[in-house]
A and B are shown apart, each in its own frame.
Chain A
Amino acid sequence: MLFVNHEPMGIALVGMSGKDQPMMEMFLKRQWSSQYVVVPDHLAKLCILDLDGFEGKDLLQKQQSQYTDRPLIVLSVRNTSIDGARVLRKPLKIELLKQTIDICRSEILQNQIKIETPKSEKERIVRVLPRSRPVQQKTGNAEHNLIVSDKNIRRLSLPSAASQARIIQSTCGKSKHKDSNQLATTDRVDYYNHESNFQEILKNAMELSRSHKKPVHLVFQDNKSITLLPKSNQCLNAINDSKLKPRCLLKLNSDQVKIVISDYSESQLRMSCDTNPQPLDALLWKVSLWSSRGRLPLGISEELNIGIRQWPNLTRMLAIPEFIRIAALWSKNPISLTKTIELLRIETGYVYAFFSACHAVGLIQYHSSYQQPSKQTESAPNEVANTGLLRRILRRLQSI
């Protein structure tokens, strides 16, 4: 066996800049944990030298004259060859770097077996270790601090479960908690007619204001209004959510909501209004969620293959974590609503509500041909991530 020596091997990092050195140290630690330790030049058994740094050539000469028998790895952007050194061309390729270090290590160990007396080896290790410790700490600096700074753990405020449930109820129509074995694949598809409610009126008003390039007021019977500003893609909304939400479920006619083209400019309207402007799409988005309540717009087939042309700006929209999952899936490959529900093992209400909102703001793309879901959606494509790990990190993030 080659790796008979279990003591960490000292490596010198020479000529590296202040930002490259910690990355190299982190790499060594991550790759081989305790097999290597970064030590001062004169204590090292292997040296990695950056030739392109300040005085790189001088440092190389010094290495070649002082440490004639020590393995040397030289990093350079140039394709050079150097006597007695292994040159790795930049940018560094991990695999090559790993292999080269391992080769050097086995050379060192073989030489030791050949020439060393056990006593001197022991002595050297005793000398090396205490001196190397401060350097090691620098590498593991983060870990070290972490242990002592327990008191710094931030207290995370858990999200109010009640408010989450309210959002889900009003947008997806279902309570969050449901037996996951009874997924709604067996449910009948529930539709809503978006053409007879406020969502449609809002959409028409948006089109009108865009085609006229003028602000438009939507005035309700109680004289409360929403003003659309087409130039800036924003709106001034004087109706709070709790009042607007129920209106999304009503059949409304042109007497109940009047559409009025404004003669004022956007900036005049902005100044005269005491509410903050909001993005227009975010308004249409939430209105369509409240209209949908987990139902599909009339006329949509759940078997059609769809995708999204871009991600919704979810941080600025009414959203629940399930929407992120669906967006991630729909951004990859065309897939039907039915397949989405199956693959994500998710309630229909979430998928239909999300579809309705994406549909309203024009994010949905239809695909005529059936496409086999790629491997990516069926198994994790990431070479390091596994499902269990991702689930645990997500749970942690969702508690923020």
Chain B
Amino acid sequence: MAEHKIIFTGPVGAGKTTAISVLSDIAPITTDEVASDMTKNLKQQTTVAMDYGLMRINGSERVHLYGTPGQERFNFMWDVLTQGGLGLVLLIDNSRKEPFQDLYFFLDAFKSFIHRTAISIGITRMDEKSQPQIDDYHREITSMGWPVLPIMEVDAREKEDMSMLVQSLLYTIDPTVTE
């Protein structure tokens, strides 16, 4: 059976792990991979986490939720990770120093995936820092030449918020889907 997946990305602390855990039917898994061969003999072992969760949708049908590990603009594996994905959920932490830089960074890193599929953008931690506002994000993406994209304030801990954000992603793929 085909595997369906949705990719969650964003800077460290934006709420990817939390978002996947509120949507997932299973306790989320963080694949703590101890670095392979080459770093084994290094004293300091790097632990890198890729988040994983799952939604059961119908009988045995499932949607896998993956969170991207780390933060690199040109991770050579992005194409590999996103392959076959339904779309991208980008979480931006509004309380970070330069959230617009994060926005450029991730839109650029996942450009081809977004063009092939769809994106919805959730702005987190607006309860901690209210500036910039949602309107400012819209202005930024417009000036970057992106079309009208769903951008919403979310709290990654709130499942209603995350549900609506993912719904906006799916309806962007096809608004004509009826109940």
Contact = CB atoms under 8 A, between A and B. Distances in A.
User: Do A and B assemble together?
Assistant: yes
Contacts of B80: 23-24, 26-27, 92, 94, 97
B54 A146 contact: yes
Given A26-B81, A30-B83, A384 B4 contact: yes
Interface in B11-48: 23-27, 29, 31, 33-39, 42, 46-48
Contacts of A389: 4, 61
Interface stretch (A1-9, A148-156, A162-170, A194-202): A148-156
A91 B147 CA distance: 26
Nearest to B72: A19
Given A19-B69, A344-B176, A59 B148 contact: no
A153 B62 CA distance: 13
B152 A377 contact: no
B26 A145 contact: yes
B132 interface: no
Contacts of B116: 382-383
Contacts of B63: 393, 396
A391 B178 CA distance: 7
A391 B77 contact: no
A175 interface: no
A203 to B, nearest CB: 18
A327 interface: yes
Contact of A385 (B86, B159, B160, B179): B86
A196 to B, nearest CB: 30
Contacts, number: 244
Given A17-B36, A23-B80, A24-B77, A394 B164 contact: no
A152 B27 contact: yes
Interface of A: 13-24, 26-27, 30, 41, 53-56, 59, 75, 77, 90-94, 97, 138, 141-142, 145-146, 149, 152-154, 180, 233, 307-311, 313-316, 319, 321, 324-329, 331-332, 343-346, 377-385, 387, 389-398, 400
Given A142-B64, A311-B150, 5 more contacts: A14-B36, A153-B25, A313-B153, A381-B174, A396-B63
25 contacts: A15-B36, A17-B38, A18-B33, A30-B84, A54-B38, A55-B38, A56-B38, A91-B76, A91-B78, A92-B77, A146-B54, A152-B26, A153-B25, A310-B138, A315-B161, A325-B177, A328-B150, A329-B176, A344-B176, A346-B178, A387-B174, A389-B4, A390-B173, A391-B179, A398-B163
